[in-house]
Amino acid sequence: MLNAIWSRVGFIPSCSRVGWLRPAVALLRQPMESGAWVASREPIGGGEILRERVRLLEAVLDNFPGGISLFDRNLQMVLCNEQQKRLLEYPEHLFASGWPTLEQIFRFNAKRGEYGPGDVEEHVRLRMALAREQRAHVFERTRPNGTVLEIRGMPLQGGGFVTTYQDVTEQRRTQALVAHMAHHDALTNLPNRLLFSDRLNQAVARVRRGEVIALLYLDLDCFKPVNDKFGHAIGDTLLQAVSDRLLTTARDTDTVARLGGDEFVIIQVGLKETAEAATLARRIVKTLGAPYHIADQTIVVGTSIGIAVAPTDGAHPEELLKKADHALYRCKADGRGSFAFFQPSDEADRPSRDSGALALPRRTATAERASVA
């Protein structure tokens, strides 16, 4: 009696996007009485289960919230979902001859400027060398169109690796906005107390290396009557106009900040002589004293300025701020609309002030994380 002959066939190619997962099949060759053979093919080990798994995997790829691609041990792409093609703007011709190799993708990206300026082949060489190391990696890349991608690569057992791409553009914009709001005044967009404190600490560090800096403490003259007469809306607009004038008067290397109310400070760095601080103060008094035209109203305010110089008047941030405040008080007492440098006698003349009013904020761990997110 003739016996049936079974033979197993391993995984075979398929037109499916996950064809490399197509189940193995068994070929049955059944002899006939006439001497002929009848061959049939049947799935091994539950073909329906394997087909269902393939279907589920394809559903996962289609619904993955980002791009995903798979490369084999030879760095040949074997899978790439539609989301990745859209996210990376892969053209159809890149897949015209089947799945491209990783090297082909690197070269395509380098030619279209995805990796920035530089020699195309050098970009390819460096990236291929890293890919061959088969190390897990996470990094961000900003595409030429401004899209920020978070890219994660994970090597697979036996060779190859899977890479995912997530569009984190809006997330990074939100983080940048939150960090900006935490360090800037909402009304004027100038640095607030927190950022001012950080900048002043940096400036004081430069003093320890031999530089000279000046701290100018400004207070508007007659601002309260403007608020009382015209209302807070016009008062706020006036503060914004004052901020704009301060920015145009100070140098780009100086820090202009708002401490609150009608109080502003300027950190002037890199002084060759203290006369430069007097020159800036004189310009500010003149610039801020010019009339403001707001909502059909002509408004005139002045400013008084107290100045402390480091290292002459001290080399600690809060000490400098306190001494500049003392000089400001004397300036107002002497008639306003001018400026004054700190003098030792100012400390005796200045009435005690709430210590919290001049206290600088301390950078917390949360603030540190917000500044680098």
Q: Tell me, what's the pLDDT at 345?
A: 83
Distance CA 254, CA 276 (A): 12
Q: Which amino acid is at 37?
A: W
Taking 70 as the pLDDT cut, the residues of the chain under it are 1-48, 50-51, 54, 348-373
pLDDT in the model for residue 298: 94
pLDDT at 96: 92
Phi and psi angles of residue 38, each rounded to the nearest 5 degrees, phi first: -115, 125
> Can you give the pLDDT at residue 346?
75
CB within 8 Å of 264: residues ≥ 6 apart? 190, 218, 219, 242, 243, 246, 256, 257, 258
| d(C-alpha 100, C-alpha 105), whole Å | 7
Alpha helix segments (H runs only) across 94-142: 102-111, 120-132
Catalytic annotation, residues: 262
CB 200 within 8 A of CB 267: yes
Distance, in Å, from the CA atom of 338 to the CA atom of 330, rounded to the nearest integer, reads 10
Tokens 């600690």 appear where?
A: 316
pTM metric for this prediction: 0.66
Q: What is the DSSP string of 6-42?
A: EEEE-----SSTTGGGPPPEEEEEEE-TTS-EEEEEE
Rounded to 5 degrees, what are φ and ψ at 151? -115, 125
pLDDT (0 to 100) of residue 354: 52
Number of neighbours of residue 61 by Cβ within 10 angstroms: 19
Contact between 277 and 307 (Cβ < 8 Å): yes
Radius of gyration for the chain, computed over Cα atoms and rounded to the nearest angstrom: 35
Q: Is the peptide bond before 65 cis (omega within 30 degrees of 0)?
A: no
Task: Tell me the β-bridge partners of 8.
Answer: 26
pLDDT for position 323: 95
Residue 65 buriedness (CB in 10 A; 0-12 / 13-18 / 19+): exposed
